[in-house]
């Protein structure tokens, strides 16, 4: 596991908006979307110097540890991708 950031850090949570209804409507498509979401998130977080700390489930919020500026940059990058509507909490 990569070294965790120190000092003042933030936690970035993301979740696929409307995921419960999407799972009920098309499980296979949602499973693919959730996998892609995780791959995009992991790559973005790592590109901003962050560490993926916890993945609760296929469409559950992701918990990452980043400095404040990098958390904001990673969140904005993820939103700009517009792969799926995601909710961000920093």
**Assigned domain for 2 exists:** no
- Mean pLDDT, the chain, as a whole number? 76
Best mean pLDDT range from 12-21, 24-33, 40-49: 24-33
Count the Cβ atoms, other than its own, within 10 Å of residue 69. Answer: 11
CATH number of the structural domain spanning residue 39: 3.30.70.1230
Q: Which domain holds residue 21?
A: 9-89
Number of domains the chain contains: 1
**Assigned domain for 79 exists:** yes
**Assigned domain for 38 exists:** yes
Instruction: Identify the band that residue 77 occupies on the pLDDT scale cut at 50, 70 and 90.
Output: confident
**Assigned domain for 22 exists:** yes
**Assigned domain for 20 exists:** yes
- Residue 27 has, within 13 A of its CA and on its CB side, a CA count of 1
Order of strands across the sheet that contains 62-67: 51-55, 62-67, 9-16, 86-89
Instruction: Identify the band that residue 46 occupies on the pLDDT scale cut at 50, 70 and 90.
Output: confident
Q: Report how far residue 12's alpha carbon sits from residue 52's, in angstroms, rounded to the nearest whole number.
A: 10
Count the Cβ atoms, other than its own, within 10 Å of residue 62. Answer: 23
Q: Report how far residue 17's alpha carbon sits from residue 81's, in angstroms, rounded to the nearest whole number.
A: 14
In which region does residue 82 sit, left (phi positive, over 0), alpha (psi from -120 to 50) or beta (all else)?
Answer: left
Q: What percent of the chain has pLDDT over 90?
A: 6
Q: Say if pTM beats, i.e. exceeds, 0.75.
A: no
Q: Report how far residue 58's alpha carbon sits from residue 69's, in angstroms, rounded to the nearest whole number.
A: 27
**Assigned domain for 1 exists:** no
Q: Which has more confidence, 30 or 2?
A: 30
Across 38-47, 59-68, 74-83, least confident range:
59-68
């Amino acid at each position: 596991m990569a070294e965790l950031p120190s000092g003042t850090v933030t936690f970035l949570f993301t979740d696929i908006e409307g995921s419960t209804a999407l799972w009920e409507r098309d499980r296979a498509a949602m499973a693919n979307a959730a996998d892609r979401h995780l791959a995009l998130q992991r790559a973005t977080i790592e590109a901003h110097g962050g560490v993926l700390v916890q993945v609760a489930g296929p469409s559950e919020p992701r918990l990452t540890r980043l400095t404040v500026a990098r958390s904001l940059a990673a969140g904005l990058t993820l939103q700009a991708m517009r792969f799926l509507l995601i909710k961000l909490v920093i």
